[in-house]
Structure 1
Amino acid sequence: MQSAAVKDEDLLFYDIEVFKHNTFVVFKDINKKEVGLFHNDFNGIAELIKNKVLVGYNNHFYDDKILSNMLNGYTPEKIKQINDEIIGGKRHAYLNNLLPRTLDTFQQIDVSKPSLKRVEGNAGKMILESSVDFTIDRALTPGELEEAIDYCRYDVDVTIDIYKRRKKSYFMPKWSLVDRLNNPKADRWNTTTISANVLTDRPLTKWSSIRLHKDVNKLRHEKNLEMLSLVPEKVQELWLNKNKGAVTIDEFGCNIEFGFGGLHGVNKTKQDVKNVKLLDVTSMYPSILININGLESATKIYKDILQERKEVKHKDKTLSDALKLVLNSVYGNLNNQYSLLYDPNKQKSVCFYGQIALYDLCKRLSKSCEIININTDGVAFITDSEEYKDVWREWEQDFKLTLEEDEFTHFIQKDVNNYVALEPSGAIKTKGGDVNNYHDNNWFKANTARIIDIAITDYLLFKKDPKKTLIENLDNPILYQYILQSSRKFAGTFDQYDKEYQRINRIFPTKKESVTLVKRRLDGGITKFPNTPQNMWVFNDDLSKIDVDEFKRNIDLNHYLEIIIDKLTKGWNAWSS
């Protein structure tokens, strides 16, 4: 089997639009040059796509199936019927033999599964929705057809941009994994399925109970009991008698939560701390799986992959990222009923082992350190002695895990999952909903009012006046955008004058009298978009075309300032006017 990797010149990007009497497909190369447009007459498609690799957005679910029927020479009316069945949820598995290999840029893009229009908005691009009704019961007029084709062309362009953005981070590591399997079908699988198949080609034997040591085969084995005895009795009772829930204890000056995920804890009084050390467990879940022989016959393969990644980590990024996918996906696959690795007791064993080990590390550190934050695989603390280094070495030997040390000159936390930290190098680390978007414009999650995350972080770490942050970034409008989306559960997006808008819109708070967009429910009632301004300037064109001077004159900075101050006051207890 030849390598799964694909050359750019072998790619064709495509998108399809289907109406009752008009169906067409647009093909472009990676340079956005149109190489094919087929409208109602599909002769020539097979020749164009021969020996090519097709790329779309959500095409594994939709476009590949429609194109398969175009290759059969079906009429637009027949294709519209199939289109409606697919969208309505009817299963269509048929793929034409003339259909070549296809890649889907939507695959595993994000758990939120953003639409192409949402990605356009997040990226600061034009948000283009066709005004031509897809349920129209007649042939399109020449003007309608031209608009719909332009819409389709634009979607292909955005698909190309998404592919380029994901090629190194997703497709290249995935191809590296596919090459290990020697199974051409694996190309359409997601990376979690591929990762499981790299380790085994059949389901593993399921455990009847938890095992916290490689030599254990029953719940009441002394080595199990020895590990369990390291945590409070009420935690043991939770783990042994229930499958969900949590127990919170007060220890080391922290509220510490045990459950069925990671161990979490936060200092009850220390929120703003200087000179913090962090001990992180290296490859925590993979290492635990190896310690307890959690993959049985596949454990050696898994251990070899972990070692191989250590060797290539700084030499071959693509291979390193591919191996990381295997290592990190296994824990999730243990709780995925559709995976070859599915075994809830193995998943709980890894989970409990991790919490026990981290809790024990906290207990040992607490004798000479003050614990600040506990989060799944790491413990942050402050100390004025070197005793923690002895704890570090002894703990590693006892639990057969490895720790790495990080330092922060400044560490500020809102709670266990929301913090900002400054490294000695000047690098900034952020975590949590208030500050997650500090570093980058995120195309695939949410990219709304990122300026708020920036202002909060810079105030917390540097006491920078939020007003100054708001003013000095005005040359970059994408930081201030709100992307509003009205899902198919609503009739659409309307303003106060009953004018209908696109389902996805980019807006800015404005000082001028303007419109207020709302979601109209199917029953005719309205629902407001949360945390949005009263006066909205709607701008759905590419942000490179915005008049920056007009933007600066009209943007309502007070809207952002109120939100920033509210978050700093209520959540972070950090605002001082």
Structure 2
Amino acid sequence: MKYYIYDLETFPNIFTCVMQNAQTKELRVFELSIRQNDLAKLLKTLQWLSKTDKILVGYNNLNFDYAVLQYLYKNANNYDLNELIYKTFLFADELIKNNTIYKEDKNSILLKQLDLMKIHNFDYKATRVSLKVLEVNMCMDSIEDLNFTIGENLKTDEFDNLIKYNKHDVEATLLFFNHSLESIEFRESLSSKYNEYMLNYSDTKIGKRYFIRNLEEKLGKDICYINGKPRQTVRNFLNFGEIIFDYVKFESFEFQALLKYLKKQYTNDMSKVFSSIKKEDLEELSSFCNLNAKNEASSLHLNYKGFSFYFGTGGLHGSVEGKFYDQSDEYLIIDVDVASYYPSIVIQNRLYPEHLGAEFVDIYKEIRDMRFSYKKGTSQNKMLKLALNSAYGDTNNQFSPFYDYKMTLSITLNGQLMLCMLAEKLMSIDSVSLIQANTDGLTFKIDKKDKTLYENISKNWQEFTGLELEEAIYKKLWIRDVNNYIALKENGEAKKIGAYKYELAWNQNHSCLVVQKAVEAHLLKGISIEEFIHNHRNKYDFLLNTKATKNIDLVLEKVYSLEKTYVKLPNTIRYFISKNGLSLKKILPPLNNTSEQRVIGINVGYKVELCNKIEDFSYEYLDFDFYIKEAYKLIEPFKQKQESLFDFS
């Protein structure tokens, strides 16, 4: 009963606020306009919400809706109604234009807030997603967009449409609130336990906050911050020779050349180490790299026994491309990952930011051990995992009290080299063929008769490094590249990565998921692409979506008597590929003052029909061929490239 979903709309001549109780679904509309004055009711409601400790739930409400409510409340008696509406609009418009990060006004009414955008970390550029796109991804029956130009005076007969839109946004926010209940309950329990309001903390912030609390409790309250500023270790250079662990050794000349190159690096510019490297700087390593016309390696890599290892500041990667592996009586496909790789490297090698001291490792280990005492999936396990990962990640964050880039590089660089040590040993077995190397593991093919050799190498590596390997046996593996593959495990589970995955995060594009589902059914169950797609009956899986960005319009193109006209569309659209629709285009501004607007096609060669209302979907007009062709694009890389006992290429 304590959560109330809300959303505001502000125009020069009308202000609306819709609130809905998350549990009872009771809904209230407050309108300030020439036809309706609900100001007194709204102010009284806000006072009641504040007094009874209710929580207002919104999407981006901390930086917009809450700020607007506070402004309106604070100025309610300073202006007449029409001027108050207009002044509130100007305040809201300024917030949007300046992308203001709002700070709570202590002189206005204080209302507890829960911002779903903050919880999911969608308020950063890299992860940002609008409520409209979430409506699409949540498969809402109707995707509503504002039909009015921001800043215009609305006509009285348009007021009801605005309120309808306002209600729809509250409905969408409530739906996302329900999808977020587990995350909210997790934050409620932490807030209660630590007597700190954590409802608007992202997962990363929760982990970081927990770690800082532990440091302050054991090492003193000034260990992380002094006068509000983070303590840090800032370095003018990094000596790779000191960073690489003494026990990192190789037997082959190729890997020894790599190690020699890395150990001589003395810089704070990682781009010089890992990209555009001149042949003379590579020295012996140049013999095992691909050099371009400038006699440079575009990235740091090593070609070893037919496999290319790529190195960077983030982690190791490398993969065969466009191949299918099928377990047989003769060989196995094995995938090994290092359990909790980076945290384990920290603990085993006692790595810590210099300004925090060696006690950092002891606290880090306590948290890691505590995490393993809770079952996977529990809120305690999740929070402790976040604490470990955020502490490591923030060693590369210039605004964090964990900042010490030497520690970051100590973890990632040695992590890559230790995996290479494992790979080198495995590749000494004649029957081993390396398939993939990624940040924390390897995938390889091996004759069953050599499994004992692999097990001994694995055991020795684990004892030597103090790290733990987790093994999975694949029955089948289709790998397009290191970031895109699908595997069938011996236990029947499917592992889908990149283009083959359809269980997506809320901020990812959920367009035409029928394609990935058809590919999975075809590869794992032998169902033909055509049969699956023609018989699939989840309408939402056929839908695509796109969003207009700043200064770009989405349009449908009509052609009549060789004349083209364009019908402007909402900023966020959902649609399906149709046999009798229209061409979808986007119109971009001119490149200069003299050129014309640019018109670029979307899904070129196909027609589309809008489906912002699911009732507009039609199997009769659906162009099944489009989806079938898209599915075949995902399986095309594996044709004629099956690995077998008799394939020695």
Does residue 301 in structure 1 map to residue 293 in structure 2?
Answer: no
Question: Which residue in the other structure is 2:103 paired with?
Answer: 93
How many residues get paired?
A: 546
Residues 174 and 191 of structure 1 are in contact (CA less than 8 Å); yes or no, is this contact kept in structure 2?
A: no
Structure 2 letter corresponding to 1:403: L
Residues 484 and 529 of structure 1 are in contact (CA less than 8 Å); yes or no, is this contact kept in structure 2?
A: no
Residues 460 and 574 of structure 1 are in contact (CA less than 8 Å); yes or no, is this contact kept in structure 2?
A: no
Equivalence map 1:40-189=2 (5 Å)? 40=32, 41=39, 42-50=42-50, 51-74=53-76, 75-89=84-98, 91=100, 92-96=102-106, 97-107=108-118, 108-110=120-122, 111-125=126-140, 126-136=142-152, 138=153, 140-168=154-182, 170-178=183-191, 181-184=194-197, 186-189=198-201
Residues 121 and 506 of structure 1 are in contact (CA less than 8 Å); yes or no, is this contact kept in structure 2?
A: yes
Q: Deviations over 1:67-116 (max 9, x none)?
A: 11122144111111111111111634243552222111112355431111
Residues 553 and 568 of structure 2 are in contact (CA less than 8 Å); yes or no, is this contact kept in structure 1?
A: no
Question: Which residue in the other structure is 1:485 paired with?
Answer: 547
Q: Deviations over 1:356-407 (max 9, x none)?
A: 1111111122223332211111111222222211112211111111111111
Question: Which residue in the other structure is 1:6 paired with?
Answer: none
Does residue 317 in structure 1 map to residue 385 in structure 2?
Answer: no
Q: CA deviation at 1:507?
A: 1.0
Cα 1:488/1:83, change in 2 over 3 Å:
same
Residues 62 and 115 of structure 2 are in contact (CA less than 8 Å); yes or no, is this contact kept in structure 1?
A: yes
Cα 1:23/1:172, change in 2 over 3 Å:
same
> SS of 1:43's equivalent?
helix
Question: Which residue in the other structure is 1:552 paired with?
Answer: 619
> SS of 1:396's equivalent?
helix
Q: CA deviation at 1:30?
A: 0.9
> Hey, what's the Cα distance between the residues in 2 that align with 1:188 and 1:269?
43
Structure 2 letter corresponding to 1:482: L
> Hey, what's the Cα distance between the residues in 1 that align with 2:379 and 2:26?
31
Q: CA deviation at 1:146?
A: 0.8
Residues 243 and 260 of structure 1 are in contact (CA less than 8 Å); yes or no, is this contact kept in structure 2?
A: yes
Unaligned runs of 5+ in 2: 33-38, 77-83, 217-223, 225-229, 275-298, 353-357, 559-564, 591-595, 643-649
Residues 511 and 555 of structure 1 are in contact (CA less than 8 Å); yes or no, is this contact kept in structure 2?
A: yes
Cα 1:32/1:487, change in 2 over 3 Å:
farther
Does residue 539 in structure 1 map to residue 539 in structure 2?
Answer: no
Structure 2 letter corresponding to 1:435: Y
Larger Rg: 2
Larger deviation, residues 238-247 vs 446-455 = 238-247
> Hey, what's the Cα distance between the residues in 2 that align with 1:222 and 1:344?
11
Cα 1:10/1:222, change in 2 over 3 Å:
closer
Question: Which residue in the other structure is 1:16 paired with?
Answer: 8
Q: CA deviation at 1:568?
A: 2.8
Larger deviation, residues 373-382 vs 201-210 = 201-210
> SS of 2:313's equivalent?
coil
Residues 28 and 156 of structure 1 are in contact (CA less than 8 Å); yes or no, is this contact kept in structure 2?
A: yes
Q: CA deviation at 1:260?
A: 1.1
Residues 134 and 507 of structure 2 are in contact (CA less than 8 Å); yes or no, is this contact kept in structure 1?
A: yes
Please, what TM-score do these two structures have when normalized by structure 2? 0.78
Does residue 248 in structure 1 map to residue 320 in structure 2?
Answer: no
Question: Which residue in the other structure is 2:221 paired with?
Answer: none
Equivalence map 1:252-263=2 (5 Å)? 252-263=305-316
Cα 1:575/1:163, change in 2 over 3 Å:
farther
> Hey, what's the Cα distance between the residues in 2 that align with 1:273 and 1:257?
26
Q: CA deviation at 1:118?
A: 0.9
Give the root-mean-square deviation of aligned CA atoms: 2.8
Equivalence map 1:360-379=2 (5 Å)? 360-368=421-429, 369-379=432-442
The partner residue of 1:198 within 194, 210, 221 is: 210
Q: CA deviation at 1:533?
A: 5.2
Q: CA deviation at 1:298?
A: 2.7
> SS of 1:506's equivalent?
strand
> Hey, what's the Cα distance between the residues in 2 that align with 1:150 and 1:347?
51
Q: CA deviation at 1:267?
A: 3.8
> Hey, what's the Cα distance between the residues in 2 that align with 1:151 and 1:408?
50
Q: CA deviation at 1:281?
A: 0.5
Structure 1 letter corresponding to 2:105: L
> SS of 1:553's equivalent?
coil
Cα 1:301/1:172, change in 2 over 3 Å:
farther
Please, what TM-score do these two structures have when normalized by structure 1? 0.87
> Hey, what's the Cα distance between the residues in 2 that align with 1:83 and 1:142?
21
Cα 1:494/1:94, change in 2 over 3 Å:
farther
Q: CA deviation at 1:484?
A: 1.9
Q: CA deviation at 1:463?
A: 4.2
Q: CA deviation at 1:53?
A: 0.9
Question: Which residue in the other structure is 1:5 paired with?
Answer: none
> SS of 1:421's equivalent?
strand
Question: Which residue in the other structure is 1:237 paired with?
Answer: 261
Cα 1:390/1:204, change in 2 over 3 Å:
farther
Question: Which residue in the other structure is 2:286 paired with?
Answer: none
Equivalence map 1:343-492=2 (5 Å)? 343-368=404-429, 369-383=432-446, 384=448, 385=450, 386-432=452-498, 434-437=499-502, 440=503, 443-473=506-536, 475-492=537-554
Q: Deviations over 1:114-139 (max 9, x none)?
A: 11111112222111012122221x3x
Larger deviation, residues 78-87 vs 104-113 = 104-113
> Hey, what's the Cα distance between the residues in 1 that align with 2:321 and 2:177?
46
Residues 317 and 438 of structure 2 are in contact (CA less than 8 Å); yes or no, is this contact kept in structure 1?
A: yes
Larger deviation, residues 328-337 vs 90-99 = 90-99
Cα 1:532/1:60, change in 2 over 3 Å:
farther
Q: Deviations over 1:475-523 (max 9, x none)?
A: 21111111021112314444333222211111111112x2222122234
Structure 1 letter corresponding to 2:607: N
Q: Deviations over 1:268-306 (max 9, x none)?
A: 796434231111100011111222333343322221121
> SS of 2:151's equivalent?
coil
Question: Which residue in the other structure is 2:287 paired with?
Answer: none
> Hey, what's the Cα distance between the residues in 2 that align with 1:58 and 1:343?
32
Question: Which residue in the other structure is 2:284 paired with?
Answer: none
Cα 1:568/1:21, change in 2 over 3 Å:
same
Residues 346 and 411 of structure 2 are in contact (CA less than 8 Å); yes or no, is this contact kept in structure 1?
A: yes
Q: CA deviation at 1:256?
A: 0.9
Cα 1:280/1:176, change in 2 over 3 Å:
farther
> Hey, what's the Cα distance between the residues in 2 that align with 1:49 and 1:276?
60
Cα 1:518/1:151, change in 2 over 3 Å:
same
Does residue 276 in structure 1 map to residue 288 in structure 2?
Answer: no
Structure 1 letter corresponding to 2:373: E
Question: Which residue in the other structure is 1:516 paired with?
Answer: 583
Q: Deviations over 1:321-349 (max 9, x none)?
A: 22222122233222222222222221111
Q: Deviations over 1:393-449 (max 9, x none)?
A: 2111111111111111111111111111001222211112x2121xx3654311101
> Hey, what's the Cα distance between the residues in 2 that align with 1:180 and 1:31?
24
Structure 1 letter corresponding to 2:325: D
Does residue 292 in structure 1 map to residue 330 in structure 2?
Answer: no
Does residue 337 in structure 1 map to residue 337 in structure 2?
Answer: no
Cα 1:132/1:267, change in 2 over 3 Å:
closer
Residues 518 and 529 of structure 1 are in contact (CA less than 8 Å); yes or no, is this contact kept in structure 2?
A: yes
Residues 16 and 25 of structure 1 are in contact (CA less than 8 Å); yes or no, is this contact kept in structure 2?
A: yes
> Hey, what's the Cα distance between the residues in 2 that align with 1:485 and 1:278?
39
> Hey, what's the Cα distance between the residues in 2 that align with 1:251 and 1:575?
21
Question: Which residue in the other structure is 2:289 paired with?
Answer: none
> Hey, what's the Cα distance between the residues in 1 that align with 2:99 and 2:566?
35
> SS of 1:79's equivalent?
helix
> Hey, what's the Cα distance between the residues in 2 that align with 1:333 and 1:223?
21
